[in-house]
Amino acid sequence: MLRFWDQLWKNEREFFDSGKAEFRHGTSFVPVSSIAEQFYCEYKLENEFALGEIPTEAKDSGTALHDELMPTEKITKEEFADLVGKKEPSLAVLGLWGPSGRLKVVGVPDHVIWSEGRPLWVVELKTTKGDPTPLWEDQENQVRIYGLLLERMGFDCSMMQLAVVRVKSAELSDDEKKEWILKVSGALIEGKTKWLEVRYPGRMKVHLLQHEPAKAEKAIDSKAGYWLGEREPTSSSSIGKCRACEYNSSCPKSLFSPSPPV
């Protein structure tokens, strides 16, 4: 097993050493979260590069809640290998990387459950103020691509499944937040996610997906032309998305005109 990890860290170094600002906006590696954002609105990503990220209350409270629900502590590579190698399921995340088609893709999933060096579950947490029931294309593809990268890195993904957990952010008590990650992990391992939805009625939906690498590759492929400079960014055809978008007052493609301040 030591050989596996040594080889993995060596491959990781070589992958990152190969970066050469070859993609759109001079990027060397394409983040999984950016590919996911392309499924929402590609022009939003373009605006982020051109105008910088605009902080919003939703983003700030979402980040704070992420940290509260899934607190992490940094460990060494050796500690990581020891932890995830145990038979007893363990919870640990690492940076993922790998080539897909003509892109070099990188990202960090929210949560991974391991046993004997194998990923069992890859989990993305998505907070919402609205109804957690729908699963959006960007959310599905994000978790699928993390699954693909784990496989590309050489992990045995034969038992791996994927989950997107959507939770209504404002409605969890402090006690529920503290126990949240252990409860969700336990329910996934024991196949009792319906129980979670009963326990948090209307506030949580666990979307389960099979790991299907071909779907992840297809998702990346469909967005690669933007990064390779082969086409211009597409923009949203939904006025609702533009209404909710923090760039709507400056975006040349916006379908919604906010009222000027009085």
Q: Which residues bind ligand SF4 (CB under 6 A)?
A: 41, 43-44, 47, 235-236, 241-242, 245, 247-248, 251, 253-254
Closest contact distance (angstroms) between CB of 249 and ligand SF4 is 9
Please identify which residue in the block is written with the tokens 């046993």.
115
Amino acid at 246: E
Minimum distance, C-beta of residue 59 to ligand SF4, in the bound complex (Å): 14
Q: How far apart are CA 125 and CA 165, in angstroms?
A: 5
Q: How far is the CB of 113 from ligand SF4 (least distance, A)?
A: 34
Q: By C-beta, is 44 or 104 nearer to ligand SF4?
A: 44
Cβ distance to ligand SF4 smaller for residue 51 or 75: 51
Which residue from 119, 105, 221, 214 is spatially nearest to 161, judged by alpha carbons? Answer: 119
Cross-strand partners of 30: 105
Structure tokens at 19: 């970066």
The CB-of-258 to ligand SF4 minimum distance in angstroms stands at 10
CA 145 distance to own-chain centroid: 8
Alpha-carbon distance of 255 to 146, in angstroms, equals: 32
> Minimum Å distance from CB 256 to ligand SF4?
7
Give the CA distances from residue 5 to residues 2, 79, 84, 135, 148, in Å, rounded to whole numbers and listed in that order. Answer: 5, 12, 11, 35, 18
Q: Which is nearer to ligand SF4, 40 or 195 (CB)?
A: 40
Of 89 and 225, nearer to ligand SF4 (C-beta) is 225
**Residue with smaller CB distance to ligand SF4, 169 or 235:** 235
